Amino acid sequence: MRKKGNKFIVNSKMIFSFLMIPGYKFYFCSFLIILMLFGSIFSLFNSYSVDSEYSDGDKLLAIGDAEDAYYERLEEVKNEYDDSEKEFSEMVITSAFTIIRLNSSSFSFEDMDKTKMREIADLMLKETEQEDGTVVFTPKDEEGVKESLSEYFKKLDPSLYDVTCQRMAEDVYDYIEAYNDLISDKNYSMCYSTGNLQASDFLNMSTDEYIAAMGPIAQADYSRNGVFASVTLAQSIIESGWGKSGLTQKSNNMFGIKCNGWDGECISYGTFEYGSNGYYDIVDKFRKYPTVEDSVNDHSLFLKNNSRYPKAGVFDATTYQEQIRAIHRAGYATAPNYASVIINMIEDYNLDEWDVSINVSSNLCFTGENNWNIRTVAPTSKDYAFTIVSSNRGQCVWYAVARTYEVAMELGERGIFSDDEVENVRKKIFSVGGNGGDWVETSSGIFQTSTNIKDLEAGALISWKEPGDYGHIAFIEEVTSDSVTISEGWSRYRDSCPSNWGCVAFNLKTMSIDEFYNSYGPHYTGSYVFSGYIYPLKG
């Protein structure tokens, strides 16, 4: 476990603790999930001020101490229950608090003191006296917990209708169950298909899952509009509370853009403004977008079309640090430490790994006719298969080897390959050496190969030679009756990549069968000559 400021963050791959309720099973990931679920409450206070276009969210920074205090209280109560060997779920408490906050606006997170945390924790337990006089605490059944939660919600806010309190109790269970369904989808971790992403998808995401979903969108926007993906990601996290703020949930508005000069749909929402007497509450109109992608694009267009930002050097910046400082300097936010907050967010979560320009859509993957998803963005250090091939990072062989293993893992997750078959691919593919142009020869006897260009198959590697050079190798993603799709990766430099991943180049090309057989296949880039195919997924 590591600390960011005073917040405890746990990686999403850490072990899940669990609470058993007869007839119902919950899996809880400690503080990471809490951070994500609780973001929906924290960020109801909204985001930063950008001229007259954006809501003033300096308040978000001002309330950071209260946020930290919540986590500290929660950890202290958890330790108390652990010491007394009582079941305790941080996720139930935070889920309940989220539901309370969404239904009773007068209840703020400062109100969630340790007493209330204990009260909610005790609602999950049944007290039973043993024959020897000792008392034991066991989990209640599902209906018992719902009944207790409903009564508790009514006690907190007597103005709520009984039926509302009962629905709120149901929502706590539904909220957690939706998250469990999400993380149980094995294919989710490999590809998150974008193109019509809705803010509601963020409700149950962990930090890693949010970044995996938003990263490709920010990366595509960087390629299209010139705003560093890391800057877009960090700003979206801060401005929308990891996509969970009330405004974002109602409008897909990731940056709090107001309706000034907007011809599209708007919604009214409460926010904070800053004046001579400090912060005050107002209700204002904000833009509503069809998708999250539309919000990201509009945010970048605002920076491009407002002359203050280009004049400040926003689009001349060569690093994310320079760009966010220029954005801040041009008047994006009134908080004096806004740029440093964004930079710290980028560094804490290594968001600069997405600062790789691409020439494809915002999708991390799209589903073709194969049994795997087609990769459409450059890999980062979050892509496991690529990190375990440490040599020559960024070279074409590195990409081909890792992509093959990545597909084998996905086939395993889908139940198409057995664990033994996945392991067999891993061992064999990592055992092949040599330059890209030599792979037909070096892999002979390890994998099936062919030098007939008509033996085209999805999942094969295609190799080309060039006299006096290393040659090249790529992965065949998909073959249909009339098209071929190939992905390839390489370093932007002649040698392998340095420690950062910003040098990884990537290309995805779809062409007709005729184009492949008559030009691309036989003569890659005009000078590389077809060497043959290797079929690592065929055993």
Could you tell me if 391 and 435 lie in one domain? Answer: yes
C-alpha span between 480 and 476 (Å, rounded): 11
Q: Which of 354, 386, 419 is the last residue of a domain?
A: 354
> Helix, strand or coil for residue 26?
strand
What's the pLDDT tens digit per position in 127-155? 888 888 788 888 888 888 889 999 999 99
Domain termination residue (choose one: 289, 319, 354): 354
Written as six digits, the tokens of 311 are 């004049």
One domain for residues 374 and 349: no
- Shared-domain flag, residues 141 and 230: no
Alpha helices in 84-206 (DSSP H): 90-103, 114-123, 142-156, 162-184
DSSP state of 140: P
pTM for the full predicted model = 0.45
Q: Could you tell me which residues come within 8 angstroms of residue 514 by beta carbon, excluding any fewer than 6 positions away?
A: none
Supply the DSSP string of 406-463, one letter for each residue.
HHHHHHHHTTSS-HHHHHHHHHHHHH--S-GGGHHHHTBTTBEEE--TT---TT-EEE
Sorted by sequence, the CB contacts under 8 Å of residue 530 that are 6+ apart come out as 453, 462, 463, 464, 521, 522, 523, 524
Q: Dihedral (C-alpha) 97, 286, 233, 42: value to the nearest 10 degrees? A: -20
Q: Does 445 fall in a domain?
A: yes
- Sign of the Cα torsion 180, 184, 185, 191 reads positive
The pLDDT tens digits for 509-520 are 889 999 999 999
Residue ranges, the chain, pLDDT below 50: 1-64, 182-194, 274, 359-363
Q: Which residues contact 534 (CB under 8 A, 6 or more apart)?
A: 439, 440, 443, 447, 448, 449, 460, 461, 463
Residues 12 and 151 placed together within one structural domain of the fold: yes
443 with 299, same domain: the answer is no
Backbone dihedral angles phi then psi of residue 350, each to the nearest 5 degrees: 50, 45
The answer to whether position 360 is within a domain reads no
User: Is there a single domain that holds both residue 183 and residue 211?
Assistant: no
| One domain, residues 346 and 374 | no
Q: Is 198 inside a domain boundary?
A: no
For residues 398 and 534, membership in a common domain is answered with: yes
pLDDT of residue 20: 26
CA 138 and chain centroid, separation: 36
Examine the domain organization and report whether 348 and 372 are in the same domain: no
Cα first-last separation, the chain: 40
Given a contact cutoff of 8 angstroms between Cβ atoms, the answer to whether 49 and 325 are in contact is no
Is residue 162 located within the same domain as residue 266?
Answer: no
The CA dihedral of 398, 404, 410, 414, to the nearest 10 degrees, is -170
Number of structural domains (the chain) is 3
Spatial separation of the C-alpha atoms in residues 346 and 221, rounded to whole Å = 17
State the chain's mean pLDDT as an integer. 77
What CATH number does the domain containing 285 carry? 1.10.530.10
Location of structure tokens 């509302």: 164
In a domain, 363, yes or no: no
- The 10s digit of each residue's pLDDT in 483-515 is 899 999 988 776 777 666 777 888 888 899 999
Is there a domain that residue 359 lies in?
no
Residue 82: inside a domain, yes or no?
A: yes
The amino acid that residue 354 corresponds to is W
Are residues 33 and 69 located together in one domain of the fold? yes
Beta carbons of 438 and 414 less than 8 angstroms apart: no
| Cα dist from 476 to 378, 535, 537, whole Å | 16, 10, 12
Residue 276 tokens, joined: 């001579």
Nearby residues of 115 by Cβ (< 8 Å), 6 or more positions away: none
Tell me the C-alpha to C-alpha distance, in Å, between residue 284 and each of 269, 287, 298, 519. Answer: 6, 10, 19, 58
Q: What is the 3-state secondary structure (H, E, C) of 71-89?
A: HHHHHHHHHHHHHCCCCCC
Q: Which 8-state DSSP code applies to residue 131?
A: T
Q: Which two tokens stand for residue 40?
A: 């929906």
Q: Does residue 196 belong to any structural domain of this protein? A: no
Domain boundary among 299, 324, 354: 354
Domain that holds residue 81: 2-187
Confirm whether 87 is domain-assigned: yes
Q: What is the CA radius of gyration of the chain?
A: 26
- Rama region for 243: left / alpha / beta (φ>0; ψ in -120 to 50; rest): left
Q: Quick one: 27 and 130 in the same domain?
A: yes
